[in-house]
Amino acid sequence: MKLTYIYHSGYVITTEKISVIIDYYKDSSDKDPIVDKLLKRKGKLYILSTHSHADHFNPEILKWKETKKDITYIFSKDILDNNLAKPKDAIYLDKLDIYKDKDIFIQAFGSTDLGVSYLIHIKDKTIFHAGDLNNWHWNEESTQEEIKEAEDYYESELKLLAANVKHIDLAMFPIDPRLGKDYMKGAEQFIDTIKVNTLVPMHFDEAYDKVAAFSVLAAPKGCNFISWKYKGESIEF
């Protein structure tokens, strides 16, 4: 099984039989688009979007069915509620809803922003895409009440997830330097709560060096952290 980093929170998972695109916003390269290859690839294509923010959902993805027929769209329900897609365009999941077929199992969990996160089972692998689930607060700017509210909200969503899964093979999780000095806190709390074999970052724009610092926190907890060096990079897992 292969994971490819597209950009921002966009990722691709490929196996021999299927491809899964999550939170496509824009491609890694205009000259050699990843999507063009996936639309020509044999096998079923699943396209997942965790919520309607423009950096996680690009309506252009709905046009891909004109090129490839065997596509299943799975969207967070807020995309429908915000009139960014029609009822017939996708399967819509709310928190704790499930989609499954013979190749994939997907359960929606909560977010501390908009939409949902996705717990995905493919073959013998358990995979998690956080969407915008994170400990979102700016300690340098927030009041103590705002910080406590953010912490409590995040903790409640983590507890719900941990009650349903004890081990994750691969997690895609936000590590956003714009949060200030505690920008890695949410990811650290995540791997403290749930055993994660490998974690890869999202939502970091071009701040590769800052994100790479998380490896120091991940290693002592038995978590392999992937520090991407460029868009379009892949790993086998």
The answer to whether residue 15 scores a pLDDT higher than 80 is yes
Amino acid identity, position 44: K
As a whole number of angstroms, the distance between CA 106 and CA 98 comes to: 6
Question: Would you say 6 and 28 are in contact if contact means Cβ atoms under 8 Å apart?
Answer: yes
Q: Give SS3 for 119.
A: strand
pLDDT value, residue 141: 78
Q: Indicate the pLDDT class of residue 26, thresholds 50, 70 and 90.
A: very high
As a whole number of angstroms, the distance between CA 44 and CA 46 comes to: 7
Assigned token pair, 175: 């590590």
pLDDT in tens, 130-187: 999 999 977 777 888 888 898 999 999 999 999 999 999 999 999 999 999 999 999 9
Q: Indicate the pLDDT class of residue 23, thresholds 50, 70 and 90.
A: very high
Question: Would you say 1 and 232 are in contact if contact means Cβ atoms under 8 Å apart?
Answer: no
H-assigned helices in 20-64: 34-40
Q: How far is CA 177 from the centre of its chain?
A: 17
pLDDT in tens, 35-92: 999 999 999 999 999 999 999 999 999 999 999 999 999 999 999 999 999 999 999 9
Write out the DSSP string of 154-173: HHHHHHHHHHH-SEEEEEEE
